[in-house]
Structure 1
């Protein structure tokens, strides 16, 4: 029950932060916010009941440090992609690479795959067992991904979540 309440409160706070409109003068907007929070909580409850395997992610310092690290990596990759796009010569060398995922859970692997896709210049194309197929727009980005410690960081966060 605490999970449901905290989810609802978190979603409502997030909605109020993004909407910027919590005045009763905006009844339609407020109604949409309430409806979206209720629907999301209902769907989350239903998902937990269907697979019987609820996912609980606690905001631990290691997870927050990972998000900060990922934000920095996304920023650096944005700069790299901007340089490619703004250069007079379009120096790309598209490449597909397979990256080994060491995570033990589906949530861990999905987090790794989504982190790769969030980083500009790389896109997760397929996940098969413990390998992720990634498209990179340059050889440097592909090599950077293969040499990155992203997999290790996510595995460490995953170990703390379980």
Structure 2
């Protein structure tokens, strides 16, 4: 690898660390504002794109089944999630965010999402597709190494 490329890769690595820290700090601030711990907030994040089973949430949040049940009970008491029977398989229970949770969480993340669209100004469809593929590869890499660390 050439020196300029090595230097650019090192700069990208530092920028990525800074971005990850910034996201974590923002999520921590949101959690404090909502009175939620990191696992609670991570659960709501997993629910942002639709209902999930408790098992899916446990895997996503990296929790054991009992801890997930306690987390869901806590969020349900706060009125942030609700459990309901899956229409396709009535034996299966799904969890979703309540409308109140969507409003509360959306009020904190929404402005950043709206403003964030401008971050992509000047990028064409091909640039955005390359970025999407890069993010998917980075996610796959992180997921593989999380599994390695967890001993899966």
Which structure has the higher relative contact order (CA within 8 Å, separation 6+)? Answer: 1
- TM-score, with structure 1 as normaliser: 0.24
Larger Rg: 1
- TM-score, with structure 2 as normaliser: 0.25
